[in-house]
Amino acid sequence: MEAFAIARVQLSFASITATPTGPERFATAFYTALWSETSGTRELFPAGMENMRHRFTTAVGWAVDKLTDVDGLDAFLGQLARDHRKYGVRPEHFRAAGYALLVAVRDCTPLILWTAALERTWAEVISHFTETMAVAAAEDDLPAAWGATVVGHERVLADLAIIRLETDTPIPYHAGQYMSVQIPQRPQMWRYLSAAIPRTPGADRIPRPTRLDGMGQRRSRQRGRGR
């Protein structure tokens, strides 16, 4: 894509995020269009989406900034898409999301900047985003999530507990990495916890804040995914 076309897209996205309410408006426009056009997608999200909107707009902004570095852009989009598999997002959802993204940029870009040329360039950019994500998600050969059972819970500080998990299969994971964890009692609520060195093969210890207490009951199932 020509440098001029990239600059045009970057400028129009900057005009969306420049106002205090812009990022939130953009994300809201995206989710509204996605949920109304692609059935079954609303159920994948938790009820409360407050922090999510900013994270979504930040991610799109990051991708737009990376348009001049296609390798970096594709690596970012690929990782984001693979991480989405644990939410139940399928490759076809990314393709369907292209329409919602175009609606969101069109609705949120000031009218004076929106031209037929800008719309064509955005369509090309969005199609690159969504196709790269769809392919990365389809080609990932790791499980979308791993199952585990809570076999121990030890409160070590007032605000810290160590949970011992026995995973169903080994998780390709290194101590110090974070992993997102969901429990059946709180579906669609993913928390980032930090894993310690396994004491025995197939077992992981996760220090976590005790405000999660009560969510991980003994023998309850856990799902985790980390990279």
Q: Which pair of tokens denotes residue 48?
A: 């409360």
Considering only 18, 52, 151, 160, the residue that binds ligand HEM (CB under 6 A) is 52
The minimum distance between CB 40 and ligand HEM, in angstroms, equals 8
Sign of the Cα torsion 214, 215, 220, 224 reads: negative
Answer yes or no whether residue 190 interacts with ligand HEM by CB under 6 A: yes
Answer yes or no whether residue 187 interacts with ligand HEM by CB under 6 A: no
Answer yes or no whether residue 86 interacts with ligand HEM by CB under 6 A: no
The minimum distance between CB 93 and ligand HEM, in angstroms, equals 4
Considering only 16, 33, 60, 195, the residue that binds ligand HEM (CB under 6 A) is 60
Which residue type does 162 have? I
C-alpha to C-alpha distance for 183 and 198, rounded to whole angstroms: 20
C-alpha to C-alpha distance for 126 and 94, rounded to whole angstroms: 10
Q: How many residues sit close enough to ligand HEM to count as binding (CB under 6 A)? A: 19
224 phi/psi in degrees, rounded to 5 = -140, 155
C-alpha to C-alpha distance for 130 and 198, rounded to whole angstroms: 37
Chain-centre distance for alpha carbon 94: 12
C-alpha to C-alpha distance for 97 and 28, rounded to whole angstroms: 13
Considering only 9, 27, 97, 137, the residue that binds ligand HEM (CB under 6 A) is 97
Answer yes or no whether residue 41 interacts with ligand HEM by CB under 6 A: yes
Which residue type does 151 have? V
State how beta strands 160-167 and 191-194 pair: unpaired
Q: Which is nearer to ligand HEM, 97 or 118 (CB)?
A: 97
Answer yes or no whether residue 44 interacts with ligand HEM by CB under 6 A: yes
Q: Which stretch binds ligand HEM (CB under 6 A): 4-12, 18-26, 39-47, 157-165?
A: 39-47
Binding site for ligand HEM (CB under 6 A): 41, 44-46, 52, 55-56, 59-60, 80, 84, 87, 89, 93-94, 97, 101, 130, 190
